[in-house]
């Protein structure tokens, strides 16, 4: 960012966009592109993205400038704010496509909509009633009744005190007046991310050129923000150090919940759009395709898997967590993790990247708790059996730790995953603290590079971000993450994933 600065004119433009209302996008809408999307649909989606993302980026800049209790002034927070401002500037200055009358006619020809290469049952169908979807069993589900649409029940949106049930709600009549005044001004009001176009059309070069320019811009923005979580964590550490406090204030906690939930939405939109572009097959009818001829799995639409096999994702998360654990503790083999399935063929539509992240973070916690709780107990047991031994004589690889269980169950509304360990549990007084950012039981937290570099390896523990961020990932598509502990024995973590694919983004 050398030489770049947030000018007053740019700040005014940012605050103008920050007043616009965001447009929520559902998982169902994201998968309507199909595994091989039409270049025309990508073109229209690119226009939507270039109008929608600046609104979201602007809100991030405004929020960071108004972060509570001096958090906005920490050096790392300023770095993150400037990243969002720079990305905003690049998108609003991106040249708009010139749409000729011929191209406009092609884009409006929707008689032959894209076909799916997967079973139609994989994608929920739109019903005749707006706001409802028709599932494969012909059950009509009212999206407006989905809890994710009720902002007052979403702790990541307006719950000032985390997990204590106290909700602060703005005055509804005032909110309604504000929303009505900005609806007509919002660039994306009334628009959809997905618009069907003719699959059999030979699209002109202008379509591919614009798709490529948006792809390149989003790729650059995505790389810029890769280190946002680590850099913002550094900003919170700086704030804690300046204020000489150990715990995060409730207003900081609420701000960070909103910040990271919003970031998940931005990353999801960017990642999905980049993946849809990469999924475009090289058309034999056109020489202008610029994304190659890479083979795309037929059960993927962008980053969304239409038949995500939960057991396979769980196995990947287990292997990754075991590898990190073995490297951290110097183990030949870490504690056993048993995978228990109530049904071997549990599949549903989800984002595998989100799921593996949540499982990996919770499994790391369970492995660490199991080892560190039982290590002194098992060593003492060996010394009792052989008094000539000292703790230093005992190799950790000679100890037998109790297993961790991962139980996966399928319900009519959600997929539930329970991770159960015997790691000694958590004291009741500490349970509310585990959802706060940068709370950790590790004595020395990992060092984060001050320049925001994200080249470090994922630590076994110490960030204090694993559970709070994982809960936001679960809530993003209507699920949740809960924890029940028995101090002196162990902890059960329950991950609930919405399987109805009907929820929209929880936008403030």
Q: Which are the catalytic amino acids?
A: 357, 361, 364-365
Dihedral sign, Cα of residue 473, residue 475, residue 477, residue 480: positive
DSSP 453-484: ---SPPPSS-SS-HHHHHHHHHHHTT-EEEEE
In whole angstroms, give the CA distance from residue 354 to residue 303. 10
Cβ atoms 301, 30 nearer than 8 A: yes
Question: Cα 318 to the chain's mean position, in Å?
Answer: 20
Say if strands 337-341 and 404-410 run parallel, antiparallel, or are unpaired. parallel
End-to-end, the C-alpha distance of the chain in Å comes to 30
Tell me if residue 249 falls in helix, strand or coil. coil
SS3 state at 308 = strand
C-alpha–C-alpha distance, residues 403 and 336, integer Å: 5
The SS3 call for residue 304 is strand
Which DSSP string corresponds to 426-457? Answer: --GGGGGGGGSTT--S-SSPPPPPTT----SP
DSSP track, 74-121: SHHHHHHHHHHHHHHHHHHTSPPPP--HHHHHHHH--SSPPPPSS-GG
CA-wise closest residue to 234 among 391, 84, 76: 76
The strands making up 125-126's β-sheet, listed across from edge to edge, are 125-126, 132-134, 140-142
- Beta carbons within 8 Å of 324's beta carbon, 6+ residues apart: 364, 458, 460
């Amino acid at each position: 960012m050398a030489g770049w600065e947030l000018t007053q004119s740019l700040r005014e433009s940012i605050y103008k966009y920050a007043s616009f209302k965001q447009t929520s996008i559902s998982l169902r809408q994201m998968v309507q592109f199909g595994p091989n999307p039409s270049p025309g649909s990508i073109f229209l989606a690119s226009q939507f993205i270039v109008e929608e993302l600046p609104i979201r980026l602007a809100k991030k800049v405004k929020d960071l400038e108004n972060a509570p209790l001096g958090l906005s002034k920490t050096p790392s927070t300023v770095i993150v704010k400037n990243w969002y401002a720079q990305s905003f500037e690049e998108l609003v200055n991106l040249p708009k496509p010139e749409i000729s009358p011929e191209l406009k006619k092609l884009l409006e020809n929707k008689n032959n909509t894209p076909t799916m290469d997967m079973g139609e049952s994989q994608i929920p169908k739109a019903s005749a009633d707006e706001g409802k979807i028709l599932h494969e069993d012909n059950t009509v589900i009212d999206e407006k009744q989905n809890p994710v649409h009720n902002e007052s029940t979403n702790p990541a949106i307006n719950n000032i005190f985390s997990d204590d049930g106290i909700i602060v709600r703005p005055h509804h009549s005032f909110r309604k007046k504000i929303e009505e005044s900005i609806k007509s001004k919002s660039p994306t009001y009334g628009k959809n991310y997905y618009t069907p176009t003719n699959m059999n059309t030979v699209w002109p070069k202008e379509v591919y050129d614009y798709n490529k320019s948006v792809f390149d811009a989003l790729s650059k923005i995505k790389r810029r923000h890769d280190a946002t979580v680590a850099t913002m964590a550094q900003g919170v550490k700086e704030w804690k150090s300046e204020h000489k406090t150990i715990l995060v204030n409730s207003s900081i906690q609420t701000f960070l919940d909103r910040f990271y939930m919003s970031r998940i939405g931005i990353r999801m939109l960017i990642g999905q759009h980049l993946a849809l572009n990469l999924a475009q097959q090289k058309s034999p009818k056109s020489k202008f395709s610029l994304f190659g001829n890479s083979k795309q799995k037929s059960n993927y639409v962008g980053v969304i898997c239409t038949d995500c096999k939960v057991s396979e994702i769980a196995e990947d998360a287990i292997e990754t967590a075991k590898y990190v654990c073995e490297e951290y503790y110097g183990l030949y083999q870490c504690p056993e993790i048993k995978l228990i399935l109530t049904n071997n063929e549990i599949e549903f539509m989800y984002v595998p990247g989100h799921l593996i992240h949540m499982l990996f973070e919770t499994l790391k916690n369970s492995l660490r708790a199991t080892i560190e709780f039982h290590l002194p107990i098992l060593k003492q047991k060996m010394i009792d059996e052989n008094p000539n031994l000292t703790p230093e004589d005992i190799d950790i690889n000679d100890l037998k730790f109790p297993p961790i269980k991962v139980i996966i169950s399928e319900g009519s509304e959600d997929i539930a995953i329970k991770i159960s360990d015997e790691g000694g549990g958590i004291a009741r007084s500490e349970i509310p603290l585990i959802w706060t950012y940068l709370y950790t039981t590790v004595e020395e937290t990992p060092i984060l590079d001050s320049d925001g570099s994200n080249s470090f390896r994922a630590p076994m523990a110490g960030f204090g971000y694993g559970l709070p961020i994982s809960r936001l990932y679960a809530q993003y598509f209507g699920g949740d993450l809960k924890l029940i502990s028995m101090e002196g024995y162990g902890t059960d973590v329950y991950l609930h994933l919405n399987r109805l694919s009907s929820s929209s983004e929880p936008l403030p």
